[in-house]
């Protein structure tokens, strides 16, 4: 009713004011975009780099989306499961490579994102 509408309106207004005055919500909002921002600060533009992405899970998706948003297209993607890696590349971009070739591919990559589980 009217009370909830008033509360919602005040909360929305307060959120807008907080974002405007503090900068909350600006900049990197995912771990993928944060990792890319750090790489950009260190290396400059990423568009011409040869990038290797290890992992096709949630963090891999975030990294790939952030790469695509920056116009990066030269991304090799490796995952333990070939079918999942190919599906990932069809959905999000990148070129699938066999997991067994990662060591070799590392030597020819300018930047590597490791987005795998630690186990």
List the chain domain ranges: 31-114
**At the topology level of CATH, where does 31-114 sit?**
Rossmann fold (3.40.50)
pLDDT of 102 reads: 92
pLDDT of 83 reads: 97
In the structure encoding, which two tokens stand for residue 50, read together? 């040869």
Residue carrying the six token digits 């030597």: 107
pLDDT of 14 reads: 72
Given a contact cutoff of 8 angstroms between Cβ atoms, the answer to whether 105 and 52 are in contact is: yes
| DSSP for residue 47 | T
Q: What angle do CA 37, 43, 49 make, to 5 degrees?
A: 100
Residues of the chain with pLDDT under 70: 1, 4-6, 8, 15-16, 18-19, 22-29, 118-119
């Amino acid at each position: 009713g009217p009370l909830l509408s008033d509360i919602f309106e005040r909360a929305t207004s307060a959120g807008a004011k907080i974002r405007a005055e503090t900068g909350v919500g600006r900049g990197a909002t995912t771990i993928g975009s944060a990792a890319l921002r750090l790489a950009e600060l260190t290396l400059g533009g990423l568009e011409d780099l040869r990038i290797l992405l290890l992992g096709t899970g949630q963090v891999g998706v975030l990294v790939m989306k952030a790469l695509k948003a920056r116009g990066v297209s030269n991304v090799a993607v490796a995952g333990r499961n070939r079918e999942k890696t190919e599906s990932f590349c069809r959905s999000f971009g990148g070129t699938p490579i066999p997991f067994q070739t990662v060591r070799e591919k590392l030597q020819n990559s300018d930047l590597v994102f490791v987005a795998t589980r630690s186990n």
